Amino acid sequence: MSDLSCDSLHLPAFRYIVFEIVFVNKKPVEYVLNNYDVNTAIRAAVLQAHGDFGLGILQNSLHVKYMSNHQDVILVKARRGAHKLLQTAVTMFLKKIKTFDVVCRTLHIGGTIKACQKFLLQYYRKQLPALMLKCSNLDEMKEIQEVILSTCCGLESDKKLGCLT
């Protein structure tokens, strides 16, 4: 009989949360947020909301997996169970990233990156008509389409899914 039991082969389960970043003031024209800035702000919010206990639970499993500066969407990975701490901290206590005042909304919670990608593709498709109405000429429309296409193709698992399928 083998030494390995089913319990020793158990992999930790994760949840992936899609957040939308909404700027309180008018969205800055030239801004760049990187994973480090967002990760630092999220950890500070978790520390403020849940203290050392919450930060300790999320410390090793908290990762910003995807970030779109054009669409203001982030995908964050956290251990299952602790994802609820992350969600409450980000939506209630994350008020500033770098020097920008922000509010975060939870768009989706999924068990895999693939499920979140499917959600994001649907979300972008729903957003596209509203963005097109704001365009004043054909060049702006093409630019928006290219940004959304590059955003969708930039997702990690789109080799399996195919872009915009």
DSSP lists the bridge partners of residue 16 as 77, 110
* pLDDT at res. 98: 87
Structural contact between residues 148 and 72, judged by C-beta atoms closer than 8 angstroms: no
The candidate with the shortest Cα–Cα distance to 66, out of 123, 106, 11, 19, is 19
Task: Look at residue 21 and give its three-state secondary structure.
Answer: strand
What local confidence, expressed as pLDDT, does residue 151 receive? 62
Q: For the domain 12-161, what is the CATH superfamily, name and number?
A: Ribonuclease P, Pop5 subunit (3.30.70.3250)
The angle subtended at Cα 44 by Cα 116 and Cα 39, nearest 5°, is 40
Q: Is the pTM of this model over 0.85?
A: no
Q: What is the pLDDT of residue 130?
A: 80
- Tell me if 76 sits within 8 A of 68, measured CB to CB: no
CB atoms within 10 A of CB 58: 23
Q: For the chain, which residues make up each domain, given as ranges?
A: 12-161
CA proximity to 81, closest of 14, 19, 16: 14
CB of 17 within 8 A of CB of 83? yes
Per-residue pLDDT of the chain (165 residues; tens, 9 = 90+): 444 444 555 667 999 999 999 988 877 767 778 889 999 999 999 999 999 999 999 999 999 998 887 778 999 999 999 999 999 999 999 999 988 899 999 999 999 999 998 998 888 888 888 877 877 888 888 877 777 776 666 554 444 444 433
